Structure 1
Amino acid sequence: MFLSAFLPARCSLSARFFSSSPKFKTIKLTDKPQFPLLKHSATVFSNSGFHNILLDERLLLTPFGNTLSTSSLSLANLIRDEFVAKANQLTRFTDLPYTLLLSNSLDLTNSDRLDHVKKLKESIRTDTVLFFEKVDWPSHMASAIPDLDHLSDSKLDSLRDFDLNLIQNFFFNPVLELFSSSFSVSELVTSDNISKTPHQSPDTLSFINSFLDSLNPFQLVSTLSTHHNLKSTILTILFLKGLISSHRALRVSRIEETVQSSHWGVTDTFELEEANILSQLDRCLNFYKLNS
């Protein structure tokens, strides 16, 4: 069973549990360390169903001093492998994505959690996929708009013939319908004006609030990171529930940038940013599953 109780101020259950385990020297996770955190060997130390990381026989701690532990051996191995890949190198937090996700989860206080959940609930009012002008268009035009999950020059070239609002309708409407049908909630309310907030039905808000309230600290950190990348609560829930792929979620969330690229060309920066987001999304989903 995973840690689902919310942890009191900066003190994790793992830190208390391992107080009775063999004593190790410790090393604290930090951004931009002055020396490599790992020089020789990284191992997983297991005790009564919990798994810790040892870096050169030193127990790894979070930035707030909690023991970096997990009840998922698969996750512990992924974290160990992150350090092995960066042995004898100076690292940033971004070099150790699984490590950072777990660390943030263990350092999450109850106050932090309540604040994050509140902001996520409020974010539905500015959800990316709820702001577009709905238009009627012939069904035969659907075949003319390409699948954009994986971009190519020819696909981008074909977008130039369509207005942004038409493309938004093509990609946003199926996502909204999928959300409503999958979770048996009312049709999502949209807005064609960024200054006009769409107000959702009570049953829709109840579902979203219940989903967010039910998240354990690890799932919440996954959700926060996913939402940061997708800028959409709708897409985040669909993605974490396995109802939409990372490529489709990314494309829908970045449809304006994609249309702009069809006119200006795809830059190296654009491709690098998308690859980075996809990598983060896939890790967030895996972390979410490992802690469910």
Structure 2
Amino acid sequence: MYLNVLKIIKNPSSRFFSTLNSYKTIKLTNNPKFPFLTKTPTIINNSGYYNILLDNRILLTPLGNTLYTSNLEVANLIIDEFKTNFNKLTTFNDLPYTMLLSKSIDLSLDDKINHLKTLKESINSDSVLFFEKVDFCPDELSCISDIDSLSGSSLENLRKFDLEMVQSFFFPGVLRSFSNLLNVPSLVTSSSVSKIPRQHPDTISVFESYIDSLNTFRLISTLKVLCNLKSIILSLLYLNGLITTTRCLRLSRIEETVQCSHWGLTDSFGLEERRIISELEKCSNFYKLNP
């Protein structure tokens, strides 16, 4: 397989992309002095791998590797990003798909090991594992069930409950979905952040095997989602299509969500939600396009 060969070739560009030597190159940088695209973007089919040509220059990653993908849809998404920023100065944040692919290509073995370790260790302090269980009466359940919408009536109903009650209502269902995803026993929770719950060894083994199975592209996507959600449990459920973007975001920011029911929706709250949702959706799409 092509990606396996890359592991043992120090500079794959010189061998695998030798047909591109006639082109000038342009390295992806943050806050460049000049726009990357002022004329025409082009996709080059190079023996089944697609390269990006900007103003007749081959696009390189920040570390100087040739940007490539075997998925034409990914290549088109990257082209669209540069078209959107035609004749504009950009930052890395303006090019999310380009950066996901670049980070995947530039990933060193040492960084991959560290990233895998980060994902594996994150299960120990996952925010969804820490909550105090509360018993609900039927009338309360009907009031708290809607968190996907923050309409006036939803906020009014949510306002009746404190943070502990909201966590106790939503988190058990999230944990059941996660256990079903990995086919492992119920996860151990804790009512205090000072007491780290210890999971069953079989659960940890299955979880770590799942993380190890992620290819480089999916690893980078998962890391980005985790950075936004601060929960590996919510991240994996989201990337596997078991929870909606809005719901996983609200649950990852459960304290802010409950607070907004008391203080009202602010512009900053909505702006931050839209930013995170946009990043999550792109990561999810990139994850699906690189099985």
Which band: TM-score by shorter chain? over 0.9
Match of 2:235, SS state, is: helix
The 8 Å contact of residues 160 and 263 in structure 1, kept in 2 or not, is answered as yes
Instruction: Give, in whole Å, the separation in 2 of the partners of 1:256 and 1:5.
Output: 47
Aligned partner of 2:106 in structure 1 is 107
Instruction: Give, in whole Å, the separation in 2 of the partners of 1:288 and 1:216.
Output: 10
1:230-252 alpha-carbon deviations (Å, 9 max, x no partner): 11111111111111111111111
Instruction: Give, in whole Å, the separation in 2 of the partners of 1:25 and 1:53.
Output: 12
Percent identity between matched residues is 56
Report the CA distance shift for 1:69/1:167 in structure 2 as closer, same or farther (over 3 A).
Answer: same
Q: Which runs of 5+ in 1 are unaligned?
A: none
Instruction: Give, in whole Å, the separation in 2 of the partners of 1:21 and 1:92.
Output: 26
1:116 matched to 2:108? The reply is: no
Instruction: Give, in whole Å, the separation in 2 of the partners of 1:263 and 1:12.
Output: 56
Report the CA distance shift for 1:42/1:205 in structure 2 as closer, same or farther (over 3 A).
Answer: same
1:78-116 alpha-carbon deviations (Å, 9 max, x no partner): 000100110110000000000000001100001000001
The root-mean-square deviation of aligned C-alpha atoms, in Å, is: 1.7
Letter in 2 for 1:128: S
Letter in 2 for 1:31: N
The 8 Å contact of residues 132 and 164 in structure 2, kept in 1 or not, is answered as yes
Aligned partner of 2:165 in structure 1 is 166
Letter in 2 for 1:186: P
Q: Which moved more, 1:115-124 or 1:139-148?
A: 139-148
Aligned partner of 2:130 in structure 1 is 131
1:4-54 alpha-carbon deviations (Å, 9 max, x no partner): 677469x56456411244521000000000110111111111111100100
Moved over 6 A (4+): none
Q: Which runs of 5+ in 2 are unaligned?
A: none
Letter in 1 for 2:101: L
Report the CA distance shift for 1:117/1:84 in structure 2 as closer, same or farther (over 3 A).
Answer: same
Aligned partner of 2:264 in structure 1 is 265
The 8 Å contact of residues 24 and 58 in structure 1, kept in 2 or not, is answered as yes
The 8 Å contact of residues 5 and 216 in structure 1, kept in 2 or not, is answered as no
Instruction: Give, in whole Å, the separation in 2 of the partners of 1:102 and 1:20.
Output: 21
Report the CA distance shift for 1:187/1:53 in structure 2 as closer, same or farther (over 3 A).
Answer: same
1:224-281 alpha-carbon deviations (Å, 9 max, x no partner): 0010111111111111111111111111111111001111121111101111111111
TM-score of the pair, normalised by structure 2: 0.95
Match of 2:17, SS state, is: helix
Greater RCO, 1 or 2 (C-alpha within 8 Å, sep 6+): 1
Letter in 2 for 1:100: M
How far apart are 1:2 and its partner, in Å?
A: 7.4
Aligned partner of 1:63 in structure 2 is 62
TM-score of the pair, normalised by structure 1: 0.95
Figure out how many residues of one structure are paired with residues of the other and give that number. 291
Aligned partner of 2:50 in structure 1 is 51
Instruction: Give, in whole Å, the separation in 2 of the partners of 1:201 and 1:164.
Output: 28
